[in-house]
Amino acid sequence: AQSVTQLDSQVPVFEEAPVELRCNYSSSVSVYLFWYVQYPNQGLQLLLKYLSGSTLVESINGFEAEFNKSQTSFHLRKPSVHISDTAEYFCAVSGRGQGAQKLVFGQGTRLTINP
């Protein structure tokens, strides 16, 4: 079984400042890792994912996350945030080779960008 802990429920930052949203996971098997974003009153959209290969993965809108196996972490970072990044962010994990991709989500981190 897997579990995910997002260490911050809310993160307020100023526009153009850097941000890091923290995610730690536990699992008895190898994992796939994901970050999803949810804008107000919408469904979830995939931001980025780690399946294999390079441990640093990037999204098209400037976010990146690094898979750290020894620390069981998958923190999300952006060097300079915009007002449009205001949303809730969810880290998720699924076990490899388990057939269906049964995602286990963290509690979510609400990112608020102040002008």
Partner 1 sequence: DAGITQSPRHKVTETGTPVTLRCHQTENHRYMYWYRQDPGHGLRLIHYSYGVKDTDKGEVSDGYSVSRSKTEDFLLTLESATSSQTSVYFCAISGTSQETQYFGPGTRLLVL
Contact with partner 1 (CB under 8 A): which of 55, 80, 84, 101? 101
Q: Does 50 bind partner 1 (CB under 8 A)?
A: no
Write down the H helix ranges in 1-115: none
Name the maximum alpha-carbon separation found in the chain.
45
Binding status of residue 99 toward partner 1 by CB under 8 A: yes
Considering only 13, 24, 64, 103, the residue that binds partner 1 (CB under 8 A) is 103
Residue 59 contacts residue 53 (beta carbons within 8 Å): no
Residue 43's identity, in one-letter code, is G
Q: Is 10 near partner 1 (CB under 8 A)?
A: no
List 7's β-bridge partners, or say none: none
Point out which residues bind partner 1 (CB under 8 A). 4, 6, 9, 32, 36, 42-46, 49, 51, 90, 92, 98-108
